[in-house]
Structure 1
Amino acid sequence: MRTPAFAVLGVFALLASCAPTADGGVGGDAPPRARQCFSVSQVVNFEQGRPDQIFLRVGRTDVYELNAAGACPDMVFANRIALIPDGGTVGTRLCTDDWARIVAPDSTAQTSVCRVRVSRKLTAEEVAALPERHRP
Structure 2
Amino acid sequence: YMGMDLMNPPTVEGWHTGREWIDSGTLVERINYAGDLLGNTELPGVKAMVNRLMNQGKTLSPEVFVDGCLDLIGPITVDEGTRNELVAHAQRSGDLRHGSSAEETEFTRRTGEMFQMIAATAEFQFE
TM-score of the superposition, structure 2-length normalised?
Answer: 0.24
Between structures 1 and 2, the one with greater strand share = 1
Larger RCO (CA under 8 A, 6+ residues apart): 2
Between structures 1 and 2, the one with greater helix share = 2
TM-score of the superposition, structure 1-length normalised?
Answer: 0.23
Higher-Rg member (1/2): 1
